[in-house]
Amino acid sequence: MIRPATVDDLPVVLELIVELATYEREPDAVVATEEHLRTALFGPDPAVFCLVAAQGSEVVGFALWFRTFSTWLGTHGIHLEDLYVQPAARRAGYGRALLAELAGIAVERGYGRLEWSVLDWNEPAQRFYTSLGADPMQEWTTWRLTGAALPALGRTHSHR
């Protein structure tokens, strides 16, 4: 069963985020807290959304996403920030169901894209996404401004 996350799901969603970070070889990278997730997902102006995959009453996976915009298409899209299904629940269709729900949201709302990033070494995920009809964007590289560089650049521009 795929459904929108609720506030009660936040502890398990955070646990799944930590599991995903561990799988992606960055176990100490997660600094998010339940309060961060509560504010982002359920605060007064949420800009990020979460679906969960439930096996009975147990949450076994999640998809965290936000809306994007394509100037070329002139319409919104969905960026899937994280997709994770616990190893014991894999191959039961939860990952596909989460992606199908996101694709359905995109189609229903008239969005033009559903996109995400995949680590270069994660060949099982790449095979799975290819089986769904997704294609890698070979000519694009993700760039990131973070750490000390972000406030250093931010200080060069006044926000008055």
Q: Identify whether 129 is a catalytic site residue.
A: yes
Give dist(CA 19, CA 86) in Å, integer: 8
Residue 160 inside a domain? The answer is no
- Helices 10-23 + 34-42 axis angle, to 10: 110
The boundaries of the domain holding residue 32 are: 2-154
Residue 102 inside a domain? The answer is yes
Query: Model confidence over 80-117: pLDDT tens digits?
Result: 999 999 999 999 999 999 999 999 999 999 999 999 99
> Under a CB-based contact definition with an 8 Å cutoff, are residues 99 and 83 in contact?
yes
CATH of the domain at 144: 3.40.630.30
Global pTM reads 0.90
Number of domains, the chain: 1
